[in-house]
């Protein structure tokens, strides 16, 4: 957190700034997800009870999709901070990897709304999966770029930790890839594939000893 001016002597951009913008964008994207849950307004009072019941039940899949996207964004947010805990500097290319990452984070509420409104459409589900796949690839690229030859991390950073970061980072895009295949075969089930992400990440193989 201590931002010395030597962090950005020529470039004028610190990792602290990227983190602040990213935290803000994560907070807003996570909150906007819930706007998809908006109910249509009822017209007559008589039918309200029945309709409200049906509406809330009819929204079950939306609630699941909302909770899923929220948890996936939280996992990416944790990954972001674990990466930036070790990334000490930034450069021009690294900055733009991060900006493209933000672009696909911001797209998540739209993809979620698409997948929630059209649960049986392969195209909607595929769009959602593709968004997550690209996001996952950008996160792993961020880590590979920053750690290659200890480019933006401390020289003392343990190679095992670098490898663990790559292994953990590969989980999300691989699961998204699997979900893309399932979306083409049976779109209604593809959202459940993502439950693999928290399950796999909690395996001892993917955790720091």
Least separation in angstroms between CB 175 and a copy of itself: 19
Is residue 32 close enough to count as binding a copy of itself by CB under 8 A? yes
Evaluated on CA atoms 22, 28, 31, 36, the torsion sign reads: negative
**Residues in Cβ contact with 19 at an 8 Å cutoff, skipping those fewer than 6 apart:** 80, 81, 84
Using alpha carbons, select from 97, 100, 86, 69 the residue that is nearest to residue 172: 69
Binding mask 115-134 for a copy of itself (x = CB under 8 A): --xx-xx-xx--x-------
In the complex with a copy of itself, the residue whose CB is nearer, 148 or 161, is 161
- Residue 23 binding a copy of itself, by CB under 8 A: yes
Q: Using the rule CB under 8 A, is 199 a contact of a copy of itself?
A: no
Q: Whole-number minimum distance, CB 41 to a copy of itself, in Å?
A: 6
Please say which residue, 80 or 179, places its beta carbon nearer to a copy of itself.
Answer: 80
The owner of tokens 């672009």 is 103
- The region of 96-104, 128-136, 138-146, 173-181 touching a copy of itself under the rule CB under 8 A is 96-104
Q: Does 42 bind a copy of itself (CB under 8 A)?
A: yes
HSE-CB of 186 using CA atoms within 13 angstroms:
4
Q: What are φ and ψ of residue 153, in 5° steps? A: -115, 170
């Amino acid at each position: 957190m201590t931002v010395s001016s030597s962090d950005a002597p020529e470039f004028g951009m610190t990792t602290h700034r990227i983190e602040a913008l990213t935290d803000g964008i994560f907070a807003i994207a996570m909150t906007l997800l819930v706007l998809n849950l908006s109910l249509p307004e009822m017209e007559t009072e008589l039918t309200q009870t029945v309709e409200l019941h049906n509406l809330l039940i009819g929204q079950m899949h939306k609630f699941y999709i909302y909770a899923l996207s929220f948890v996936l964004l939280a996992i990416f947010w944790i990954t972001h901070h674990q990466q930036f805990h070790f990334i000490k500097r930034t450069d021009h290319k690294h900055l733009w990897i991060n900006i493209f990452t933000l672009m696909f984070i911001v797209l998540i509420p739209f993809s979620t709304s698409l997948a929630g409104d059209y649960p049986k459409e392969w195209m909607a589900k595929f769009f959602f999966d593709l968004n997550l796949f690209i996001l996952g690839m950008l996160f792993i690229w961020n880590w590979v770029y920053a750690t290659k030859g200890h480019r933006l991390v401390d020289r003392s950073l343990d190679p095992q930790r670098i490898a663990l970061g790559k292994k953990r980072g590969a989980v999300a895009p691989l699961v998204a890839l699997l979900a893309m295949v399932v979306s083409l075969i049976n779109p209604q089930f593809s959202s459940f594939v993502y439950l693999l992400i928290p399950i796999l990440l909690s395996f001892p193989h993917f955790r720091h000893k």
